[in-house]
């Protein structure tokens, strides 16, 4: 009987469901292992081959750990709020909830067809009011702690569509849908003060077992820089000051001009009448530029002189104040002291506008370029002769003593723009009262449900479609009779995914986000696997919320995800990213139908390292299927019975026994560190060996099938039952190897002359250096090779080699 994957896979998937094989027990006394996949967004397009890669990796870990005696938490759920459902609703008038439900059903069916060992009783859905109740609850905690505030910030407003667009919906300043112009318009938005946690988000990265690249990306994103704030007085304006931020306060003596960002609010006050038209013109030019043009590094510097002068506090010199778009209003204080001698950008600007360049750190050639390195300070008064570090410290002391500046840390990280002008998101539980005050929806009234509506349409005002739903919007506080209007903004998609891993731990809890005892039992996540595209935002937001919850005593750990692994992308057969337009998309459903889920799982793990980008190969997937067929033929007869190669008490050669124990060792070790490709290679090697045997003992057949089972669970269950077991292989114990069987008594040693292999010797393990040397020099072949030469040196490494250096 051939290996019929359709029948077998369906059978075991039903068995697992019926027997609740993968149910997680909170009260077991086994050690815990929490292995988590990144929350999928159930798009209408369904699963692509990238999904099963990460999911298979975590599933292998989950299945192996269960067999190794761990209580495993391996859940899945749906990050189901999001733009596509809303757009679908706007286009068709249908309820996004229905659309989402269908998509989830499709996704679930696809995921189930791959045989992942999820505990489906813990399935989550961010759009479920019982779930988003707690998303809203967390928001209220943030609000109470002063970490949620509202502010006027510019958004992408499309007047023609009457709506606000996300950045990705704006292409070249036009709306993606319809090509209407989009303008930046300040609107009141909810912000979360993630910057208050910047230092902790940065520092706690050190203890995480994450890829360096991801940690580095987060560090860069947070962008902490240490320097000083310096206040410059403005000539002729006694009450005005400009504060600049600099990382190089030691170069203050070299500040020969000052630059304000074109949006800086002081400009109108200080600009001289003669310069006003030039400044206005420049600001108009800058405003007309797209973000892309403004940030184009290749362009030359532009700017305009305001006519005003600032006073350099350290030497009292007058320096001209310019405006230029190379200074960003969003960073630091939106103003800089320009030190053209020691900053590339300032140098470029000064050269273009003929501003003076003064050397204050020796070591460079200022006629050619700015010198940004370290060196002795010159032309710097009390700093002369000092190096960079001492000079910075001394200058900060001076600034503090003269009350014109201080040490200062700034971050690139901005506060999190938390509101979206959307219907399909968690409602923000805030009421704007008619007296202008804000009132939080009482916790006991949560969840604040999204109102059902027949027709979702833009409000036209920039508010979300919720603004149309008068019944929902207008509220009266019962105690006071005061009227109010609900917040029409909803939360971004990041909200629900910032804490879902906590809810899996206690998904049906009505009283709390999750039981503290259970959180203590399960946190933190031992292994988190997902795509690198979430390297910054999702992982940073989740860490931020987690720290807030930690401070509130809700969660027991400082960090949510102890170990993080990014699966690499699966490319098309042409080594390019899969895309519809390139026609190189592989649909996992097709593979499951043609080759089976086990084959797909096996192949995706065998393709290469989990974190590398790897191209798909048609013949490669065939090869993986062939391996499973080979296993099947080995263990199962054409009548569907257990093959006679398996004999309970078969004796095998010492060599084969060794191969078995080596396989157990290598597979166990490789899977543990997620080197699935090499572990699978070892399984293949073992099967190649088995093909050379007449009989193998049942114990080894069972051991092998156990090793295979996390990767290819369906075929493994089937063979396991043919081996005479009436319980799932999942309930069996992971095999252990006998180290004694791996001990080599004799090993082959290579003998090199000048690093080239000239002979091989079989010696007892542990043969001493001297002995090896003697044996090597006594070897006939070696003697012959050395006949014309004189020996300079002999290096002998026990159990490895002898290298003879000769001339």
Identify residues 144-173 at the interface with RNA (CB under 7 A).
Answer: none
Q: 3-class DSSP state for residue 441?
A: coil
Tokens standing for 607? 């393709």
Which of the stretches 41-49, 423-431, 450-458, 626-634 binds RNA when contact is defined by CB under 7 A?
A: 626-634
Binding status of residue 631 toward RNA by CB under 7 A: no
Could you tell me the CA-to-CA distances from 795 to 753, 757, 801 in Å, in that order? 10, 13, 8
Q: Using the rule CB under 7 A, is 217 a contact of RNA? A: yes
Q: What is the largest CA-CA distance in the chain?
A: 110
Q: Does 237 bind RNA (CB under 7 A)?
A: no
Nearer to RNA, 301 or 725 (CB): 301
Identify the residue among 25, 352, 626, 789 touching RNA (CB under 7 A): 626
- Find out whether 85 and 568 touch, Cβ atoms under 8 Å: no
> How far apart (Å, rounded) are the C-alpha atoms in residues 799 and 764?
8
Tokens standing for 269?
A: 């006050």
- Should residue 757 be labelled a site residue for RNA when binding is judged by CB under 7 A? yes
- Choice from 245, 309, 322, 418 touching RNA (CB under 7 A): 245
Give yes or no for residue 617 binding RNA (CB under 7 A).
yes
How many other C-beta atoms lie within 10 A of the C-beta of residue 381?
12
Give how many residues touch RNA by CB under 7 A.
82
- Among 75-83, 449-457, 549-557, 792-800, the segment contacting RNA (CB under 7 A): 792-800
Question: What is the dihedral sign for C-alpha 258, 259, 265, 266?
Answer: positive
Q: Which is nearer to RNA, 400 or 757 (CB)?
A: 757
Burial class for 271, CB neighbours closer than 10 Å (0-12, 13-18, 19+): buried
The binder of RNA chosen from 32, 294, 376, 725 (CB under 7 A): 294
Cβ distance to RNA smaller for residue 84 or 608: 608
For RNA, which residue of 272, 281, 290, 295 counts as binding (CB under 7 A)? Answer: 295
Q: Which of 109, 299, 449, 783 binds RNA (CB under 7 A)?
A: 299
CA distance 136 to 448: 8
Q: Which of 14, 92, 213, 579 binds RNA (CB under 7 A)?
A: 213
Nearer to RNA, 645 or 750 (CB): 750
580 carries a ligand binding annotation: yes
Answer for which of 15, 331, 353, 550 binds RNA (CB under 7 A) is: 331
Position among 97, 166, 482, 613 found at the interface with RNA (CB under 7 A): 613
Query: What is the SS3 assignment for 751-768?
Result: EEECCEEEEEEEEECCCC
Instruction: Dig out the tokens for 448 from the structure.
Output: 């604040």
Peptide bond connecting 524 to the previous residue in cis, omega within 30 degrees of 0: yes
Cis check: omega of the bond before 447, within 30 degrees of 0: yes
CB 248 to RNA: min, Å: 5
Pick out residues in 673-712 that bind RNA (CB under 7 A). 675, 677-678, 680-681, 684-685, 688, 691-692
Taking CB under 7 A as the rule, which mask of x and - marks residues 310-329 in contact with RNA? ---------------xxxx-
- Answer yes or no whether residue 615 interacts with RNA by CB under 7 A: yes
Contacting residue, 261, 358, 759, 761, with RNA by CB under 7 A: 261
Binding of RNA by 262 (CB under 7 A): no
Pairing between β-strand 257-260 and β-strand 318-323 as defined by DSSP bridges? parallel
CB of 282 to RNA, least distance (A): 13
**Distance in angstroms (rounded) separating the CA atoms of residues 311 and 233:** 5
Our finding on whether 786 is near RNA (CB under 7 A) is no
Q: How far is the CB of 62 from RNA (least distance, A)?
A: 22
Distances (CA, A) of 715 to 4, 115, 603, 646, 712: 9, 11, 14, 17, 6
Binding to RNA in span 96-155, by CB under 7 A = none
Contact between 453 and RNA per CB under 7 A: no
Measured between alpha carbons, how far apart are the two ends of the chain, in Å? 66
Among the listed residues 17, 369, 434, 622, the single contact to RNA using CB under 7 A? 622
Based on CB atoms, which residue is closest to RNA, 331 or 550? Answer: 331
Contacting RNA within 335-354 (CB under 7 A) = 336, 343, 345
Of 445, 744, 748, 770, which one interacts with RNA (CB under 7 A)? 748
β-pairing verdict for 570-571 and 614-615: parallel
**Which range in 183-191, 304-312, 581-589, 750-758 contacts RNA by CB under 7 A?**
750-758
Over the window 570 to 599, marking each residue x when it contacts RNA by CB under 7 A and - when it does not, the resulting string is -----x------------------------
Verify binding: residue 297, RNA, rule CB under 7 A.
Answer: yes
Buried b or exposed e, range 400-426, using 16+ CB within 10 angstroms: eeeebbeebebbebebbebbbbbbbbb
Query: Which CB, 221 or 550, lies closer to RNA?
Result: 221
Element (H, E) at 601: helix 597-606
**Which one of residues 42, 54, 334, 710 is an interface residue with RNA (CB under 7 A)?**
334
Looking at beta carbons only, is 14 or 754 nearer to RNA?
A: 754
When binding is defined by CB under 7 A, the residue of 175, 231, 410, 663 that contacts RNA is: 410
Q: Is 416 in the site for RNA (CB under 7 A)?
A: no
- Judging by beta carbons within 10 Å of its beta carbon (0-12, 13-18, 19+), is residue 609 exposed, middle or buried? middle
Minimum CB–partner distance for residue 792 and RNA (Å): 8
Among 112, 276, 317, 412, binds RNA (CB under 7 A): 412
Task: List, in order, residues 6 or more apart from 772 with CB less than 8 Å away.
Answer: 749, 761, 763, 796, 798, 802
Q: Least distance (Å) from RNA to the CB of residue 345?
A: 4
Q: How far is the CB of 760 from RNA (least distance, A)?
A: 7
Give me the residues paired with residue 37 across strands. Answer: 529
**Site residues for RNA, window 509-568 (CB under 7 A)?**
532-533, 535-536
DSSP sequence for 330-353: TSTTSEEEE-GGG-HHHHHHHHHH
Q: How far is CA 578 from CA 114, 476, 516, 584, 609, in A?
A: 21, 53, 43, 5, 19
Cα–Cα distance measured from residue 304 to residue 259, given in angstroms and rounded to the nearest whole number: 9
Comparing CB distances to RNA, the nearer of 97 and 196 is: 196
User: What's the order of all strands across the beta sheet hosting 148-158?
Assistant: 163-165, 148-158, 183-192, 416-417
**What is the spatial distance between Cα 668 and Cα 682, in angstroms, rounded to a whole number?**
10
CB of 115 to RNA, least distance (A): 21
Which residue positions form the known binding site for ATP?
Answer: 580
- Binding site, by residue number, is 580
């Amino acid at each position: 009987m051939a290996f019929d994957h359709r029948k077998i896979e369906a059978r075991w998937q039903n068995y697992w469901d019926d027997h609740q094989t993968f149910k997680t027990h909170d009260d077991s006394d086994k050690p815990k292992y929490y292995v988590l996949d990144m929350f999928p967004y159930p798009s209408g397009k369904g699963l692509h081959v990238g999904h099963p890669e990460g999911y298979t990796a975590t599933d292998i870990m989950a299945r192996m750990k269960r067999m190794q005696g761990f209580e495993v938490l391996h859940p899945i759920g749906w990050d189901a709020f999001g733009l596509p459902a809303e757009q679908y609703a706007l286009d068709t008038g249908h309820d996004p909830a229905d659309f989402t439900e269908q998509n989830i059903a499709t996704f679930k069916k696809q995921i189930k067809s791959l045989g992942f060992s999820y505990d489906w009783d813990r399935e989550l859905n961010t759009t479920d009011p019982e779930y988003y109740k707690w998303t809203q609850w967390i928001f209220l905690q943030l609000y109470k702690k002063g970490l949620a505030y509202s502010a006027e910030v510019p958004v992408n407003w499309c007047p023609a569509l009457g709506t606000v667009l996300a950045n990705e919906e704006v292409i070249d300043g036009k709306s993606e849908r319809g090509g209407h112009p989009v303008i930046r318009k300040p609107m009141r938005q909810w912000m979360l003060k993630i910057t208050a946690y910047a230092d902790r988000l940065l520092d706690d990265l050190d203890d995480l077992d994450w890829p360096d690249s991801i940690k580095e990306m987060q560090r860069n994103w947070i962008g902490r820089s240490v320097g000083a704030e310096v206040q410059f007085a403005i000539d002729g304006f006694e009450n005005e000051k400009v504060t600049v931020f600099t990382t190089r306060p030691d170069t203050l003596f070299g500040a020969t001009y000052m630059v304000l960002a074109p949006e800086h609010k002081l400009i109108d006050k200080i600009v001289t009448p003669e310069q006003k038209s030039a400044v206005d013109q420049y600001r108009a030019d800058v405003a007309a530029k797209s973000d892309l043009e403004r940030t184009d590094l290749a362009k030359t510097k532009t700017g305009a002189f305001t006519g005003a002068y600032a006073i350099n506090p350290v030497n009292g010199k007058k320096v001209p104040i310019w405006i230029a778009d190379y200074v960003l209003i969003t960073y630091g204080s939106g103003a800089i002291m320009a030190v053209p001698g020691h900053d590339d950008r300032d140098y470029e600007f000064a050269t273009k506008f003929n501003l003076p360049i003064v050397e204050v750190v020796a070591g460079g050639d200022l006629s050619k370029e700015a010198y940004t390195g370290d060196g002795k300070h010159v032309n710097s008064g009390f700093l002369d002769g000092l190096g960079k570090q001492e000079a910075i410290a001394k200058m900060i002391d001076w600034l503090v003593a003269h009350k014109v500046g201080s040490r200062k840390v700034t971050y690139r990280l901005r506060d999190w723009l938390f509101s979206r002008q959307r219907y399909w998101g968690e409602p923000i539980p805030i009421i704007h009262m008619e007296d202008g005050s804000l009132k939080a929806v009482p916790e006991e009234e949560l969840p604040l449900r999204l109102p059902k509506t027949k027709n979702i349409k833009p409000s036209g005002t920039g508010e979300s479609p919720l603004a149309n739903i008068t019944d929902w919007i207008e509220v009266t506080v019962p105690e006071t009779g005061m009227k109010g209007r609900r917040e029409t903004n909803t939360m971004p998609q990041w909200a629900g995914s910032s804490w879902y891993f906590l809810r899996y731990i206690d998904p049906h809890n009505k009283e709390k986000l999750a039981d503290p005892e259970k959180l203590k039992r399960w946190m933190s996540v031992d292994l988190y696997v997902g795509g690198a595209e979430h390297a910054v935002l999702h992982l940073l937001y989740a860490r931020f919320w987690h720290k807030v919850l930690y401070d509130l005593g809700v969660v027991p750990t400082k960090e949510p995800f102890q170990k993080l692994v990014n699966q690499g992308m699966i490319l098309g057969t042409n080594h390019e990213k899969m895309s519809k337009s390139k026609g190189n998309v592989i649909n996992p459903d097709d593979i499951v139908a043609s080759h089976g889920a086990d084959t797909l799982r096996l192949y995706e793990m065998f393709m290469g390292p989990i974190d590398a980008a790897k191209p798909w190969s048609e013949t490669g997937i065939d090869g993986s299927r062939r391996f499973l067929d080979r296993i099947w033929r080995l263990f199962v007869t054409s009548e569907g019975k257990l093959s006679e190669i398996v004999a309970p008490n078969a004796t095998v050669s010492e060599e084969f026994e060794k191969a078995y124990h080596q396989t157990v060792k290598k597979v166990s070790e490789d899977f543990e560190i997620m080197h699935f490709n090499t572990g699978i290679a070892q399984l293949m090697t073992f099967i190649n060996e088995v093909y050379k045997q007449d009989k193998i003992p049942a114990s080894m057949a069972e051991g092998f099938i156990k090793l295979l089972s996390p990767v290819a669970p369906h075929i493994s269950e089937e063979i396991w039952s043919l081996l005479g077991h009436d319980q799932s292989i999942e309930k069996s114990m992971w095999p252990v190897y006998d180290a004694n069987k791996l001990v080599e008594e004799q090993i082959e040693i290579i003998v090199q002359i000048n690093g080239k292999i000239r002979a091989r010797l079989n010696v007892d393990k542990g043969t001493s250096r001297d002995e090896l040397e003697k044996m090597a020099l006594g070897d006939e072949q070696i003697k012959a090779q050395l006949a014309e030469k004189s020996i300079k040196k002999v290096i002998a490494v026990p159990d490895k080699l002898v290298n003879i250096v000769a001339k």
